[in-house]
Structures are given as structure tokens and as C-alpha cells.
């Protein structure tokens, strides 16, 4: 996979500038005709790497990225005529528009919270969610009990990046790849929060795991189909041992993305995904629509379904996701809510499992997590056919 290059400004910019300067535009074509023939972002999937090169050369374009692990193909700016030509070319599996994805925006409470030093594996947790996932019943007992720490397991966070210098990661975090822009910092903060819930020292489920961040979303929390596939492609090729991934974003139907997520999982990477924050059934969107992905909904401190947590039969279980204290860029902490906060709890438990039980296939890990969840605890948990299960560490 070659790194993505930010695309140049579209030709429409020239028209806007000309109007602003009062310069008349030559009436060579209507605005509709010009827009219809202007280059736009596309992804081209091919059957082999050799056909990737040949397909790009056949229409005279330079790819902005190439993929050779989870899918074969490339991203490029193409005219509609070039896209049509490639669709008809032997060896081309498919051509898709490189659309933008929107973030699963969490509700930021931004209450700074003091760091609670943890001396042992049985201590007062940094957030209530840790306390909830190690016991089947309320009330909370003020402890987070675990034997495993996730040491030796890599947690891939495909998100907005990570503040690797945050003291809560203790040198265990690294930004591995940026597929979306030229800013190698977590200028949004979402990725640092997600990574912190999964694996920070005082606020994480697996405080010994490594965080390997892949920045696929920009400073606004948005990304593209090509940035997602480039990240998945890299993870598949660069995993070096027990690995889990957390994906707190959503994208509509895409054959290339569906294959990319599935093949990353097939390469040995367990995957957890947020259920969505619409309050309805979001099971048709990726990556939730893939059976091997563990989809996680949001529960509250008093064991209720969060009102905006998405539902549906694709959801495997609930996990704490409301007012969760976690690290944020710059060295501090804040409280956040959303299914983006729930998914990394499950990723953290998967990291504990892989340290304690070995590097099992993703399907085995998912089954164990589902089987060890506690049943019937969430008020409103069966809304929309959602299974009423609550994540547990299961004594790991």
C-alpha cells in the first residue's frame, strides 16, 4: 500500500476565484457539463497486483494510493469516462466513488478528572466502566480486578490518530500511519480517547497492551473510503503478533470496504466496532454489517441503554459508554459519551483474552466474549431486537 496523497483542489476552485475577481468565464460549457466531466476520486479494484498497474496505465493516471493486501487496486482521480472505461476492462473487479465518511460524534462532557495512580491489578478504577465489566451485578464495588494486562498484544486504533506522548500510554503508543492528511497529530482527540479506554494505564481495560494508531480520519473526524481501505490494508500487512482493532466509524455499502474489513479479520485481527449513535437500527452500515465484527452498544452507569445508542441484531452486546473518563491530547483527561466509547472496552477485553488464552482466531475470541457476557441486565437492552448482554472480563 502506498501512502495517500492529499488531492489537489478541484477545478471548480478556478470558477469561484474568477467570479470573486469579476473575471468573465469563457462560455465553453455549462456548469453542469463541466462538473460532469471533471475528475473525481474513485477506487478501482483489480484481480491481481499486476492488473492494478496495467489498469492505471491504460487510462494514463497516477494512483494516489495502491492496495495489495486486503484488496488489490488503487485510488485515483478519474473522469467519468475513465471510470467507465475501467469498469469494462478485463481484470477490473469493480470501480467505486471515493466518498467521504462522517464521524460518529460522541457527546463531549469535558470534565477534567484527576488521574488515579494504580499500584496493583486490583485497584480503584479510573472510570466507572472498568468497575462495571468485572462484576455481573450492581452496585459497583470501586474495584477493577484483572490478572491479564494485554501485554504483548497490539491494539490497532483506526481513528483520528493518538497523542503518543500522553503519560497514560507510558511509551506504549505510536502513530504508525497517516492515510488522510499531512497532520500527524490527533488534532480531533477522538482517537486518543478510544485508545485510552482500550489500553491506557489508569483508564484502560488492557493497561499493558501496545497502541498502534492508524490515522484514517482527519481533524474534523471525517475520512474517505480510500483512507479507510489504506489503513486496513496496512494493518493486515504489518501485524506482528496477537492483534485487535477498534473501528468507531460508519460507512454505507461498499464491496471493497466489506472485503477489506473481512480480510483484515481473516489475517488474525479481532475487530470491535461501535454500534452507532442514531438511536435506531444501523446494522446495514459497515463495518457493523460484517458477521465477524463484534458490534458494541452503549450502556449507562445505572445499567440502562443510552437513549441514542443504535440498536439491531448486528449488535453483540452492550458496554459502558456514557460519561467515560479517558485521556485526551495534551496530557489531560475528559469525560465522553457514545458508542465510540463502548467499542474500545470490548477491544480491551479481546486484548486481555489474547494475552491470557493465546492468539486465537477472531471468531473464537468473539464467541468467548459473547458467551461470557452477563444476560438481561440492561434496562431497555432488547430495544430493536438488540441482544441484552453486558460485556464482562470473565475473570481474565
Do residues 388 and 311 touch, judged by C-beta distance below 8 A?
no
186-245, pLDDT tens digit by residue?
A: 999 999 999 999 999 999 999 999 999 999 999 999 999 999 999 999 999 999 999 999
Do residues 160 and 221 touch, judged by C-beta distance below 8 A?
yes
Q: Quick one: pLDDT at residue 126?
A: 82
Mean of per-residue pLDDT scores for the chain: 87
Q: Quick one: pLDDT at residue 104?
A: 55
Handedness of CA 315, 319, 321, 322 (dihedral sign): positive
Distances (CA, A) of 100 to 211, 217, 224: 26, 10, 4
Strand pairing report for 243-247 and 269-274: parallel
Residue % of the chain over a pLDDT of 90: 82
- 78-97 mean pLDDT: 96
Q: Quick one: pLDDT at residue 1?
A: 54
Residue that wins the pLDDT comparison between 18 and 344: 344
Distances (CA, A) of 313 to 72, 251, 344, 382, 384: 31, 18, 20, 10, 8
Which band of pLDDT confidence, cut at 50, 70 and 90, is reported for residue 103? low
Which band of pLDDT confidence, cut at 50, 70 and 90, is reported for residue 25? very low
Q: Quick one: pLDDT at residue 302?
A: 97
> Residue 9: is its pLDDT beyond 80?
no
d(CA 181, CA 351): 29
Q: Quick one: pLDDT at residue 39?
A: 56
Question: Degrees (nearest 5) of the Cα angle 164, 167, 169?
Answer: 55
> Residue 108: is its pLDDT beyond 50?
no
> Residue 11: is its pLDDT beyond 80?
no
* Residues present in the chain in total: 396
Q: Of residues 131, 154, 159, 303, which has the active-site annotation?
A: 159
Question: Degrees (nearest 5) of the Cα angle 337, 343, 349?
Answer: 125
Domains and CATH numbers, the chain: 29-98 (3.30.70.80), 107-390 (3.40.50.200)
- Catalytic residue flag (residue 163): no
> Residue 74: is its pLDDT beyond 90?
yes
d(CA 213, CA 332): 19
Q: Quick one: pLDDT at residue 115?
A: 40
Which band of pLDDT confidence, cut at 50, 70 and 90, is reported for residue 30? very low
**CA of residue 93 relative to chain centroid, distance:** 25
Q: Of residues 190, 200, 299, 309, which has the active-site annotation?
A: 190
> Residue 24: is its pLDDT beyond 60?
no
Q: Quick one: pLDDT at residue 13?
A: 26
> Residue 117: is its pLDDT beyond 50?
no
Q: Quick one: pLDDT at residue 38?
A: 52
d(CA 22, CA 26): 13
> Residue 277: is its pLDDT beyond 60?
yes
Q: Of residues 248, 250, 337, 340, which has the active-site annotation?
A: 340
- 121-125 mean pLDDT: 51
- Catalytic residue flag (residue 190): yes
Which band of pLDDT confidence, cut at 50, 70 and 90, is reported for residue 6? very low
Q: Quick one: pLDDT at residue 124?
A: 55
Q: Quick one: pLDDT at residue 19?
A: 25
Question: Packing angle between helix 80-87 and helix 49-58, nearest 10 degrees?
Answer: 140
- Tally of CA atoms within 13 A in the half-sphere of 270 that contains its CB: 33
> Residue 109: is its pLDDT beyond 80?
no
> Residue 113: is its pLDDT beyond 80?
no
- Catalytic residue flag (residue 159): yes
155-176, pLDDT tens digit by residue?
A: 999 999 999 999 999 999 999 9
d(CA 171, CA 199): 12
How would you write 163-223 as a 3-class SS string? CCCCHHHCCCEEEEEECCCCCCCCCCCHHHHHHHHHHCCCCCCCCCCEEEEEECCCCCCCE
Q: Quick one: pLDDT at residue 31?
A: 34
> Residue 315: is its pLDDT beyond 50?
yes
- 124-146 mean pLDDT: 93
d(CA 282, CA 250): 9
> Residue 12: is its pLDDT beyond 70?
no
Amino acid at each position: 500500500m502506498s501512502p495517500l496523497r492529499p488531492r489537489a483542489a478541484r477545478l471548480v476552485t478556478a470558477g469561484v476565484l474568477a467570479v470573486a475577481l469579476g473575471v468573465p468565464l469563457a462560455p465553453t460549457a455549462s456548469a453542469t457539463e463541466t462538473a460532469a466531466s471533471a475528475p473525481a476520486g474513485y477506487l478501482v479494484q483489480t484481480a491481481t497486483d499486476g492488473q492494478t498497474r496495467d489498469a492505471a496505465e491504460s487510462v494514463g493516471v497516477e494512483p494516489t494510493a495502491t492496495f495489495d493486501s486486503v484488496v488489490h487496486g488503487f485510488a485515483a482521480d478519474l473522469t467519468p469516462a475513465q471510470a467507465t472505461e475501467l469498469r469494462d476492462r478485463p481484470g477490473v473487479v469493480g470501480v467505486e466513488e471515493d466518498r467521504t465518511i462522517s464521524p460518529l460524534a460522541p457527546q463531549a462532557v469535558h470534565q477534567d478528572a484527576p488521574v488515579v495512580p494504580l499500584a496493583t491489578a486490583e485497584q480503584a478504577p479510573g472510570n466507572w466502566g472498568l468497575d462495571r465489566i468485572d462484576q455481573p451485578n450492581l452496585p459497583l464495588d470501586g474495584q477493577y480486578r484483572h490478572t491479564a494486562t494485554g501485554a504483548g498484544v497490539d491494539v490497532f486504533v483506526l481513528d483520528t490518530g493518538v497523542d503518543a506522548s500522553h503519560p497514560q500510554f507510558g511509551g506504549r503508543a505510536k502513530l504508525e500511519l497517516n492515510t488522510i492528511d499531512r497532520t500527524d497529530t490527533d488534532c480531533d482527540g477522538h482517537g486518543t480517547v478510544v485508545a485510552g479506554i482500550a489500553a491506557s494505564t489508569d483508564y484502560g481495560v488492557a493497561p499493558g497492551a501496545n497502541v498502534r494508531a492508524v490515522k484514517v480520519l482527519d481533524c474534523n473526524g471525517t475520512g474517505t473510503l480510500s483512507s479507510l481501505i489504506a489503513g486496513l490494508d496496512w494493518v493486515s500487512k504489518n501485524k506482528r503478533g496477537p492483534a485487535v482493532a477498534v473501528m468507531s466509524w460508519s460507512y454505507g455499502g461498499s464491496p471493497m470496504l466489506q472485503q477489506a474489513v473481512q480480510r483484515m479479520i481473516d489475517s488474525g485481527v479481532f475487530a470491535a466496532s461501535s454500534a452507532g449513535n442514531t438511536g435506531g437500527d444501523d446494522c446495514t452500515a459497515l463495518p457493523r454489517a460484517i458477521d465477524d465484527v463484534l458490534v458494541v452498544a452503549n450502556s449507562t452507569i445505572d445499567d440502562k441503554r443510552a437513549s441514542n445508542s443504535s440498536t439491531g441484531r448486528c449488535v453483540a452486546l452492550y458496554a459502558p459508554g456514557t460519561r467515560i473518563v479517558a485521556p485526551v491530547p495534551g496530557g489531560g483527561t475528559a469525560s465522553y459519551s457514545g458508542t465510540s466509547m463502548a467499542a474500545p472496552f470490548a477491544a480491551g477485553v479481546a486484548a486481555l483474552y489474547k494475552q491470557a488464552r493465546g492468539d486465537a482466531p477472531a471468531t473464537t475470541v468473539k464467541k468467548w466474549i459473547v458467551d461470557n457476557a452477563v444476560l438481561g441486565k440492561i434496562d431497555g437492552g432488547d430495544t430493536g431486537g438488540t441482544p441484552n448482554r453486558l460485556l464482562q472480563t470473565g475473570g481474565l
